[in-house]
A = this chain, B = another copy of it.
Amino acid sequence: MFGIWLMLHVDRARLAARLSEMAMVGATGRGGVHRLALSDADRQARDLLDAWCRQKGFSLEVDTVGNMFASRTGRSSEAPPLLIGSHLDSQPNAGAYDGPVGVLCALEVLESLDDLDVETRQPVQVVNWTNEEGARFRPPLLASGVFAGIYDAEFALNCRDVEGIRFGDELQRIGYAGPRQPGWPISGYIEVHIEQGTVLEATGAVVGVVTGVVGIRDLQVTVVGEDTHAGPLDMRSRRDALLGAAEMIVAANALGLEHAPDSRVTVGRIAVPSDSHSVVPGLAEFTLDLRHPESNGLDSLEKAARERFQRIAHDRNLELRFKQMFEYPPVAFDISLRDEIRSAALGLGHPALDLPSRAGHDAWNMARVAPAAMIFIPCRDGISHNEREFAEFEHIVAAADVLLNTVASVTKSR
């Protein structure tokens, strides 16, 4: 435990400058960024991080799936490093906070350790994970998944975007296909991230101590009817797949609300291949994203969705297919790291609150291989994946300070 007089502080001005410079990379002009994984904008963001790290003399390494690591040496050359960081890629036309705030707070901590002459036992590494969002290459959390041994590097390199462009080819093109095999031992992982919800805001807490991540299960739902002309056929004889899908979307939302407050049910993508104003759609495909803190909660949401959709399909003379796209089981974060984060927040005088994450994060993958934890920053109106995403600079500084003190504490000799 620190007393308040012993707490460390980051360099606010430097952090502010880096946040604004990074927000200009892939800026949409409306306060957001459009920085899809392995795009030219992603390359620019990486180049900027690289330049900052080199300036400070931190050694930089890139692994074979493009994850970037900047290291500050520790007293012991054998102790596995403590990893801190997040991601620089974004959703399409998204905010400037989701991801970069975690990478730049981590970099700020690395620099502050230098400035404050803090010696750590093990090395501390700042990481920028490739393709966290999964907006361009499915699945999300891809390259941290490779680091954690969930996927082979080959799997990631062979992923393709909607235009058929290969992850591995894009990685080569932007110059971030590194030599190092991902997956070396680490002593822990801590990630700063915006909450993307309203829990902290509603309670007035400044620092979120994340207890774990809810489980997420993603399904692809295909509704099959019959393409027909919009005019001549009697409306009662139609087998309208989009109409069926619309009823399912309404049913999915009702299902989520019935299982509030733990559940989230979302339809985020829909495709109607016939795509003509005068064709009654014979095929509609949509995604179904289920979130719940318990595995059996996911099972029960899926079961209920299948039953309701099946009833709709039956009533409308439609066929229905389900395909599971990916699943992240619920995880709990490391108790001892959570205690360290809470102590740091209290020591700094910031009101802290325990809460679960309902979004997937790279920390989820890391929790499989090392003690992991996250620090949440309040986020205005809970809006994220949107250009209007916003976090108070004071709250970002608070998270950086908490991370700095947590890192200093857990890397002390003991």
CB-based contact B253/A250 at 8 Å: no
Interface majority SS (helix, strand, loop, mixed), chain A: loop
* A window 190-227: CB within 8 A of B: 195-199, 214, 216, 218, 226-227
CB-based contact A232/B196 at 8 Å: yes
CB-based contact B265/A235 at 8 Å: yes
Our pick among B245, B257, B270, B357 for the contact of A236 (Cβ within 8 Å) is B257
For residue A195, which residues in chain B have a CB less than 8 angstroms away from its CB? 232
Residue ID in chain B nearest A253 by CB atoms: B243
Interface residues as binary, A260-296 with B (CB distance below 8 Å gives 1, 0 otherwise): 1101111111101111111111100001010100000
Query: Taking the nearest CB of chain B, how far is it from the CB of A386, in angstroms?
Result: 4
A365 within 8 A of B: no
A140 within 8 A of B: yes
Complex: A289 Cα to B278 Cα, angstroms: 7
Query: Taking the nearest CB of chain B, how far is it from the CB of A214, in angstroms?
Result: 7
CB-based contact B230/A274 at 8 Å: no
How many chain A residues touch B (Cβ–Cβ < 8 Å)? 75
CB-based contact B280/A276 at 8 Å: no
CB-based contact A291/B234 at 8 Å: no
Complex: A242 Cα to B235 Cα, angstroms: 23
CB-based contact A232/B197 at 8 Å: yes
Complex: A269 Cα to B388 Cα, angstroms: 28
Complex: A359 Cα to B277 Cα, angstroms: 12
CB-CB under 8 A for A269 and B270, given A228-B386, A243-B250: no
A383 within 8 A of B: yes
CB-CB under 8 A for A276 and B270, given A197-B232, A231-B357, A291-B230: no
A360 within 8 A of B: yes
For residue A277, which residues in chain B have a CB less than 8 angstroms away from its CB? 134, 218, 266, 268-269, 287, 289, 325
Which residues of A pack against B, CB within 8 Å?
Answer: 91-94, 98, 133-135, 140, 195-199, 214, 216, 218, 226-237, 240, 242-243, 245-247, 249-250, 253, 256-257, 260-261, 263-270, 272-282, 287, 289, 291, 325, 357-360, 382-386, 388
